[in-house]
């Protein structure tokens, strides 16, 4: 019989099991969708400071927080924001549900807040109702510098007051936020676009002005000429801006009520020493505005550098079948403001580094350290740790990098003796104390 020679391969198969094969996965490159962005840990100090200041200012000025859904019936924006606006025509994200509903991701806050005001009977509360919110908005816009498809805003609304003092207070709220953030030289531009009584005469004058140059208008402005002539003044294209610069001023067509209201707003701003620029061509891009409209810029001026935009919307509540209710509000882009803070080199102090760091050695030391860590949490003392690191050298290095003042060392010996070493990270001096006294000892040292 011919003897078969055992090869390495056959011996391996018969003698010991072969290594299991790694499963094969289809690999894909994952990255952000176009027009959105991550807010990384190193950026969070700006965001935390911003949100904290917004909440403080809102509380000081008597605004209450409201949160509205991230999506609504699309008709809310078609009717409220306006069918002829760029937001509704070009930028809105829609969702068709299984029940054939058409919903929209919110592109702005005001219509949703007004819907909540009506739906929850806020007209029965003491007026005016002062509300604020923060959160994400969505617009399918062409991504540009400072313009994202998912972005964040802060929004303040005063519903139920016709006086110019509310217009002035909304402006004052945002300028106060900027001052507390450390933003330098914000610049306010303001105008009045009238009401349903005086604006028809102005529209006629505007159409007359543009009629002879209608063929020179951009595609969008040709549509605006027919649908919403006021938006002709809002075009950012150079050829249209030149025509707008020679257009009649809306302020010359205001009725007595609108003139008096605008005069009142400016007088309140003067009284508060708030500087402003009158801009007769400022109209804003939303259909619901009446009377006062305004924008606030940082150091740069341009369509992509508006930090705040807002105005009065006295007809919106009634448009949604509510009782006729005057209102005014404004919103600010958080990304743009944070970018402006960076441009102006405004420093944000990061106070989140732990002044105390727990260092553990051995299994028993680690177990006791976990319990001690929780004790510090209960006493509202922020402590650092590196429980995944086994060596004292690597843990001390991390404590030093974080700038911790005290290191608490718990090894096997200390754990058995119910003691702990407290080390001054500056001088290097060490002292062993009973474990039950460590919380009070740390509090005493941190006070010094």
**pLDDT tens digits along 237-271:** 888 888 888 899 999 999 999 999 999 999 999 99
Q: Is the pLDDT of residue 125 over 60?
A: yes
**CA-closest candidate to residue 238, choices 306, 302, 283, 146:** 302
**CA-closest candidate to residue 134, choices 43, 74, 55:** 55
Q: For the chain, how many structural domains are there in total?
A: 2
Choice among 70-84, 157-171, 261-275 with the minimum mean pLDDT? 70-84
pTM metric for this prediction: 0.83
Please indicate, yes or no, whether residues 177 and 286 belong to a single structural domain of this protein: yes
- Residue 423: domain span: 356-447
The encoded tokens of residue 251 equal 């302020």
Please indicate, yes or no, whether residues 78 and 164 belong to a single structural domain of this protein: yes
How far apart are alpha carbons 364 and 226 in whole angstroms? 79
333, part of any domain: yes
Q: Which of 321, 343, 365 is the last residue of a domain?
A: 343
How sure is the predictor about 302, in pLDDT bands with cuts at 50, 70 and 90? Answer: low
Which has more pLDDT, 84 or 11? 84
How sure is the predictor about 4, in pLDDT bands with cuts at 50, 70 and 90? Answer: very low
Please indicate, yes or no, whether residues 421 and 316 belong to a single structural domain of this protein: no
**pLDDT tens digits along 359-382:** 999 999 999 999 999 999 999 899
Please indicate, yes or no, whether residues 302 and 269 belong to a single structural domain of this protein: yes
Please indicate, yes or no, whether residues 299 and 377 belong to a single structural domain of this protein: no
Rg of the chain on CA atoms, in Å: 31
Q: Which of 280, 315, 343 is the last residue of a domain?
A: 343
DSSP code per residue over 238-266:
HHHHHHHTTSPPGGGG--HHHHHHHHHHH
Q: Is the pLDDT of residue 81 over 50?
A: yes
Q: How far is CA 101 from the centre of its chain?
A: 29
Q: Which of 313, 343, 373 is the last residue of a domain?
A: 343
Helix 164-181 and helix 256-271, axial crossing angle in degrees, nearest 10: 30
How far apart are alpha carbons 267 and 334 in whole angstroms? 29
By the 8 A CB rule, do 261 and 292 touch? yes
Q: Domain with 380 in it: what CATH number?
A: 3.40.50.800
388, part of any domain: yes
Please indicate, yes or no, whether residues 117 and 71 belong to a single structural domain of this protein: yes
By the 8 A CB rule, do 206 and 248 touch? yes
Please indicate, yes or no, whether residues 177 and 293 belong to a single structural domain of this protein: yes
Q: Domain with 312 in it: what CATH number?
A: 3.30.930.10
């Amino acid at each position: 019989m011919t003897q078969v020679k055992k090869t390495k391969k056959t011996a391996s198969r018969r003698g010991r099991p072969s290594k299991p094969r790694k499963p094969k996965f289809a690999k894909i490159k994952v990255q952000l969708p176009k027009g959105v962005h991550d807010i990384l840990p190193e950026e969070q100090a700006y965001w935390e400071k911003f949100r904290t200041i917004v909440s403080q200012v809102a509380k000081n000025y008597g605004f209450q927080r409201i949160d509205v859904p991230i999506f609504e019936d699309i008709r809310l924006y078609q009717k409220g924001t306006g069918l002829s606006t760029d937001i509704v025509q070009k930028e809105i994200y829609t969702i068709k549900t299984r029940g054939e509903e058409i919903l929209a991701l919110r592109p702005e806050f005001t219509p949703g807040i007004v819907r909540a005001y009506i739906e929850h009977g806020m007209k029965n509360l003491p007026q005016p109702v002062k509300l604020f919110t923060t959160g994400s908005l969505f617009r399918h816009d062409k991504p540009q510098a400072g313009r994202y498809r998912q972005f964040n805003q802060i929004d303040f609304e005063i519903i139920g007051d016709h006086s110019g003092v509310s217009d002035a207070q909304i402006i004052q709220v945002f300028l106060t936020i900027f001052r507390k953030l450390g933003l330098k030289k914000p610049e306010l531009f303001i105008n009045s676009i009238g009401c349903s009584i005086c604006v028809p005469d102005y529209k006629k004058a505007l159409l007359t002005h543009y009629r002879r140059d209608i063929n020179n208008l951009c595609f969008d402005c040709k549509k605006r000429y027919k649908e919403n002539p006021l938006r002709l003044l809002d075009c950012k294209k150079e050829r249209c801006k030149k025509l707008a610069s020679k257009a009649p001023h809306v302020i010359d067509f205001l009725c007595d009520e609108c003139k008096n209201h605008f005069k009142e707003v400016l007088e309140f701003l003067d009284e508060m020493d708030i500087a402003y620029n009158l801009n007769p061509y400022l109209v804003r891009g939303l259909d619901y505005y009446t009377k006062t409209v305004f924008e606030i810029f940082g150091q740069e001026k341009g369509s992509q550098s508006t930090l705040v935009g807002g105005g009065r919307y006295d007809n919106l509540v009634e448009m949604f079948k509510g009782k006729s209710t005057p209102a005014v509000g404004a919103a600010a882009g958080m990304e743009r403001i944070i970018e402006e803070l960076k441009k102006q080199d405004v420093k944000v102090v990061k106070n989140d580094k732990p002044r105390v760091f727990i260092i553990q050695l051995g299994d028993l030391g680690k177990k006791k350290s976990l319990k001690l860590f929780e004790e510090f949490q209960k006493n509202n003392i922020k402590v650092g740790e590196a429980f995944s690191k086994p060596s004292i050298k690597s843990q001390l290095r991390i404590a030093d990098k974080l700038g911790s003042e005290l290191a608490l060392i718990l090894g096997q010996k200390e754990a058995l003796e119910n003691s702990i070493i407290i080390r001054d990270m500056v001088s290097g001096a060490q002292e062993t104390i009973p474990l039950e006294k460590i919380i009070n000892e740390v509090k005493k040292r941190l006070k010094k």
